[in-house]
Amino acid sequence: MKTKQLLLLLLLIGCSSGPVFSQRPMEYLNRSIVPLETKNGIYLTWRMLGTDPADVAFNLYRNGEKINENPIDGASNYTDASGSVTDKYSVETIVNGEAVEISGEFEAWAQQDPLENYASKGKLAFKRIPLPAPPVLEGATFSAGDMSVGDLDGDGQYELIFEWESSTLKNSFLEAIDLEGNSLWRINAGPNTSAVKLGFMVYDLDEDGKAEVACKTGPGTVDGTGAFLSTGPAAEDNDQQLVLRSSSGHLQVDPAYLTVFDGATGKELKTVDYFPAIGPIGEQDATWGDGRGYRASSIKSAVLYHKDLGPMLVFGRGIYTRIAMAAFTWNGQDLTQVWTFDTKDNPDYKAYEGMGNHGVCVGDVDGDGSDELIYGACAIDHDGNGLYTTGRGHGDSHALGDLIPDRPGLEFFQPHENSTYGISMRDAATGEIIWEGLDSGDVGRAWAADVDSRYPGAEISAIGMGNYDSKGRLLETTYNAYCQPLYFDGDVQKELRNGNTVDNITDGKGNRILTAYYYGASTIHSTKKDMNLVADIVGDWREEIVIRDAESTQLFIFSSWFPTERKNYTLMHDPAYRMQVATQNIGYNQPANVSYYFPEPAPVPNIYTIKYDPDDSVPTSSDEIDKARNELVVFPNPAKDFVTISVSASSPKTVELYSAMGTKISSTESSDRLIEVNLKGLAPGMYVLRICSDGTMQAVTVIKN
């Protein structure tokens, strides 16, 4: 375990009339160039970061030679007409006319032939990743299923973590691989867990720059080093114990655990009892909604960011009746329970019973600087208190985002299984129903996303109910409610994925832009036809599709080859989007959404990034963590006439003061550790101090009273 090196790189924050919160930590990411072989040369995209200034520019290098005449200050994509598939590319970052970093080299993705049956369809550039051989277990076969991403080794590049889903309900496995298919570890969840019921989360929980992995475990779980669990309640358990299952194969008795694993090695770090326990068999029908363990096995999990405590793991169970969960923090040594929420025997939360969806969703919906958990038709605040419940009941899908752009705040859309309620659009912060469409049946498929440029905000499609605009007005369109939205081509609207095909929407009609099965790609989850993962994991802001072949021998990564004029930082540096990617594997897979209306310019996120430093140790006390979070200290803040900057290094520094709109106000050269900045004569509001030293740049917001 190593430490956190905090890169406070927030730049040029816009003014806000609401409360100002401290910067939110996000993962450090590299530029992750994707060079795609095309008929016109090599098409390149690369990652712009949420910590980049708005005027950031780039130079591109092919085999060490610069290929662009002038710095590229627009969208982060470029076609190298002279490039070939054997070339290697790197990108140089330009800030204020000066180079501040250069990336490593990235190899091109070659064009590949379609399957023989589709030979006439033409070549396409994508990445093939060989999969390790699946687990071997008598009576079961395994296929690569739900997936997540995290930077497990701290190098700024994502690794893939996925579940080997069993053909029976028993013995799932988790595996981590890099983008070349090399296995980092494999965890055998054991006979006392259930397939697709692990609720695995991948996130940097202790803020050291490397992601951990957490999931539901039990007696007999074997970690990534080959050892049985050995901490907490697992220290004295019987690893040969088989927990009782119902005749349909679902777990019906305890014990069950929650375990945090080292992301780099798969080693167990800490195990605690799972909350809530499943309870006595005779009470399960009344408690969970059936007596066979099926609904009690509906495991839900998420990561929430708490502005004072940092990332919190939330694990629980329940949809149709009782809903219960617990939140934990991990500081590198201790897995500490912070709060619990439980509808059982709690009259204050009786109205929350039966309000769960199959999936969960996370975002700071009330603007207080901490995340809330949207649990279907109800919401849980960051402190574990119920935020609201709508009473509309369970649903199969959802969308959280700025779905109605002329309305303040975020909205939440969902269909409902209960008769009467149909579909509803609500205020995500208060639960107020903005509009709804009533229906007497189970609306089992629906989505909300901006896919059609003719209508402002999100369009909605619901099976059996037609299509609507963001205000609930019926549209004369034929969108397919079975689709899922994603960003893939170069415009600012989403496209629609139906299985392993993608359509762009023009004038309300779909135009096919990707048919992945031509090249051998399959789907997962039977009739749901999911992808293993859809997220912005490499290249620019467009989303990648990650999907296996039918035999689970390889993965395909499809990345956009469409030129774009949109300059946008990676979607993964939008906190709501990042947390929704983390929960994409929970229940029925749902697409992630950003927290802003994408056709408009993206707001600058109030974030800093955490870069792994292998030479330091992890701070474990709250004082050490607070100190690490504030290596760059500005005081007083808010201020009236002067602020003082305190930095640890005495090397030469350039201190620049900017307005919220990016106008430079002053610049000072100093080698002092305490530097005073004059704010006299400035209007009240938000400003940005940028400190440049030794080729690195730090920034912090200052409030002028």
Q: What is the mean pLDDT of residues 91-101?
A: 95
Q: What six digits make up the tokens of 29?
A: 């990411």
Q: What is the mean pLDDT of residues 72-82?
A: 99
Distance of alpha carbon 630 from alpha carbon 647, whole angstroms = 10
Backbone angles phi, psi at 646, to 5 degrees: -115, 120
Looking at residue 493, its pLDDT comes to 98
Looking at residue 419, its pLDDT comes to 82
In 10 A of CB 634, how many CB atoms? 20
Are 663 and 54 in contact, with CB atoms under 8 Å apart? Answer: no
Average pLDDT of the chain is 91
Identify which of 650, 641, 645, 642 has the alpha carbon closest to the alpha carbon of residue 633: 645
Question: DSSP character for 136?
Answer: -
In DSSP terms, which residues pair with 586 in a beta bridge?
Answer: none
- Is 594's pLDDT higher than 70? yes
**What single-letter amino acid sits at 619?**
P
Backbone angles phi, psi at 296, to 5 degrees: -70, -20
State how far the alpha carbon of 53 is from the alpha carbons of 27, 96, 299, in Å: 17, 9, 41
Backbone angles phi, psi at 528, to 5 degrees: -75, -25
Q: What six digits make up the tokens of 33?
A: 């160039």
Looking at residue 696, its pLDDT comes to 62
Q: What is the mean pLDDT of residues 164-168?
A: 91
pLDDT digits (tens, 9 = 90+) for 197-208: 899 999 999 999
Identify which of 282, 414, 275, 297 has the alpha carbon closest to the alpha carbon of residue 355: 414
DSSP state string for 303-352 = EEEETTTEEEEEEEE-SSS--EEEEEEE-SS-EEEEEEEE-TT-GGGGGG
Distance of alpha carbon 405 from alpha carbon 493, whole angstroms = 14
Distance of alpha carbon 237 from alpha carbon 232, whole angstroms = 10
Q: What six digits make up the tokens of 623?
A: 């004082």
Report residue 78's pLDDT band, with 50, 70 and 90 as the boundaries.
Answer: very high
Lowest mean pLDDT among 69-73, 230-234, 297-301, 650-654: 650-654
Distance of alpha carbon 595 from alpha carbon 364, whole angstroms = 9
Longest Cα–Cα distance in the chain: 77
pLDDT digits (tens, 9 = 90+) for 304-345: 999 999 999 999 999 999 999 999 999 999 999 999 999 999
Looking at residue 399, its pLDDT comes to 99
Distance of alpha carbon 413 from alpha carbon 426, whole angstroms = 6
Identify which of 515, 516, 546, 553 has the alpha carbon closest to the alpha carbon of residue 531: 546
Residues 6+ away with beta carbon under 8 Å from 621: none
- Pairing state of beta strands 459-462 and 466-468? antiparallel
What H or E segment, with its residue span, contains residue 625? helix 622-629
- Is 10's pLDDT higher than 80? no
Distance of alpha carbon 303 from alpha carbon 239, whole angstroms = 29
pLDDT digits (tens, 9 = 90+) for 211-241: 999 999 999 999 999 999 999 999 999 988 8
Backbone angles phi, psi at 221, to 5 degrees: -65, 135
Distance of alpha carbon 214 from alpha carbon 582, whole angstroms = 11
Report residue 110's pLDDT band, with 50, 70 and 90 as the boundaries.
Answer: very high
- Is 623's pLDDT higher than 90? no
Looking at residue 649, its pLDDT comes to 59
SS (HEC) of 545-579: EEEEECCCCEEEEECCCCCCCCCCCCHHHCHHHHH
State how far the alpha carbon of 158 is from the alpha carbons of 152, 172, 343, 539, 578, in Å: 7, 23, 37, 12, 13
Looking at residue 104, its pLDDT comes to 96
With 0-12 CB in 10 A as exposed, 13-18 as middle and 19+ as buried, what is 142? buried
Domains present along the chain, CATH in parentheses: 3-23+606-704 (2.60.40.3080), 34-109 (2.60.40.10), 127-438+520-582 (2.130.10)
Cα 527 from chain centre: 25
Q: What is the mean pLDDT of residues 612-629?
A: 51
- Pairing state of beta strands 607-613 and 24-27? parallel
Cα 21 from chain centre: 21
With 0-12 CB in 10 A as exposed, 13-18 as middle and 19+ as buried, what is 637? middle
Are 63 and 578 in contact, with CB atoms under 8 Å apart? Answer: no
Q: What is the mean pLDDT of residues 391-398?
A: 96
pLDDT digits (tens, 9 = 90+) for 656-678: 888 765 678 888 888 877 788 99
Question: How are the residues of the chain apportioned to helix, strand and coil, as percentages rounded to the nearest 5?
Answer: 10, 40, 50
Are 552 and 330 in contact, with CB atoms under 8 Å apart? Answer: no
Report residue 277's pLDDT band, with 50, 70 and 90 as the boundaries.
Answer: very high
Looking at residue 426, its pLDDT comes to 99
Identify which of 572, 580, 506 has the alpha carbon closest to the alpha carbon of residue 543: 572
- Say if pTM beats, i.e. exceeds, 0.75: yes
Are 309 and 289 in contact, with CB atoms under 8 Å apart? Answer: no
Distance of alpha carbon 583 from alpha carbon 580, whole angstroms = 5
Q: What is the mean pLDDT of residues 589-600?
A: 98
Looking at residue 11, its pLDDT comes to 38
